[in-house]
Amino acid sequence: MKTEMKIHPTAVVAPEAELGKDVIIGPYAVINSPVNIGEGSVIGPHTVIHSFVRIGRRNQIHAHAVIGDTPQDLSFSNLETWVSIGDDNILREGVTIHRSTDPNAPTHIGNNCYLMAYSHVAHDCTIGQSVILTNNVLLGGHVEIGDKAVLGGSAVVHQYCRVGAYAMVQGNGSVGQDVLPYSIVGGHPVRHYRLNTVGLRRAGIKGERYRILEQAFWQLRNGADLSDLPETPEITYLRAWLATKSKRGLHRFAAKNSTE
């Protein structure tokens, strides 16, 4: 379907690469194979897409992004491992995303995510839906980021850490343990401060549902479980998240009189 694509004459595209309808490939881009790029996606100048990459529909990938390079893992053998990217994502200039180390589980980016300039997603990471990584965010290997989480500029997340849905990591934060869903963390060292009030309000989580989450946060801060709380979608998710085995443990809570 090359008549329906726009490939700049300086781009290098492997003949076996599968490009959907209305894909645009910019100057000096390099597309290897096997690669699949969904319809309506735009690949910017000087972007490199290595082998074993699947990209969904209507993605915007800006200049000098590099997707699908091999894992930065000294134990990695030359296996067929993948990167999988969903639909409607924006990857700004200089973003890097590495293949997984596991042939059965790709490094994965969901839908509607915004990865800002020079953010890095290491091998075996899993990023949910509508996640924002601000400029220069670095994710180590095997990191999990929940839906609608926001990571501030130059935040760093250690390998195997989890950042729950709707959480916010403040800029320059160095995350070395798990971050609770719905929370804000920051500081040096990183601590849980409070609920992500703005993010929850934008998501329509308010009224009684918000009050119950406040109670959950207070109980967790004080070492209590959540067994006495009424069932809401947020509490159901939070209980399941807490029940999932963690390799890093949970970041501590800030002092109760903290002004953060």
- Measured CA to CA, the distance from residue 45 to residue 257 in angstroms comes to 50
Cα separation, 203 vs 221, whole angstroms: 24
Residue 250 within a domain: no
Report if residue 255 sits inside a domain: no
> Would 251 be classed as within a structural domain?
no
Q: Which domain holds residue 32?
A: 2-243
To 5 degrees, how large is the angle CA 142–CA 144–CA 146? 170
Residues 6+ apart with CB under 8 A from 79: 101, 103
pLDDT, tens only, 158-170:
999 999 999 999 9
200-258 pLDDT, tens digit per residue, is 999 999 999 999 999 999 999 999 999 999 999 999 999 999 999 999 999 999 986 55
Phi, then psi, of 239 in degrees rounded to 5: -60, -45
145 DSSP 8-state letter = E
How far is 81 from 220, CA to CA, in rounded Å? 39
Residue 258 in any domain: the answer is no
Counting the structural domains of the chain, the total is 1
Give the pair of three-digit tokens for residue 123: 């091998």
Give the C-alpha separation, 28 to 56, whole Å: 21
> Which CATH number is 123's domain given?
2.160.10.10
Mean pLDDT computed over every residue of the chain: 96
Question: What pLDDT is stored for residue 259 in this prediction?
Answer: 46
Q: CB count, 10 Å around CB of 27?
A: 13
**Which pLDDT score is estimated for 258?**
55
Instruction: Look at residue 90 and tell me if it is in a domain.
Output: yes
The Cα-based distances of 2 to 19, 37, 110, 219 in angstroms read 8, 13, 27, 59
State which amino acid sits at residue 79.
L
Name the pTM for this structure: 0.95
**Cα dihedral 238, 242, 245, 248 sign:** positive
Span 22-57, pLDDT tens digits? 999 999 999 999 999 999 999 999 999 999 999 999
Report yes or no: 243 and 250 within 8 Å, Cβ to Cβ: no
Catalytic amino acids? Answer: 123-124, 141
Vertex 145, ends 33 and 208: CA angle to 5°?
140
Q: Residue 235, CB half-sphere, CA atoms under 13 Å: how many?
A: 20
Instruction: Read off the tokens for 185.
Output: 């963390």
Contacts of 12 (CB under 8 A, 6+ apart): 29, 30, 31
Does residue 98 carry a pLDDT above 90? yes
Residue 249 maps to a domain:
no
Distance CA 216, CA 237 (A): 12
Q: Determine, yes or no, domain membership for 259.
A: no
Residues 209/234, Cβ–Cβ less than 8 Å: yes
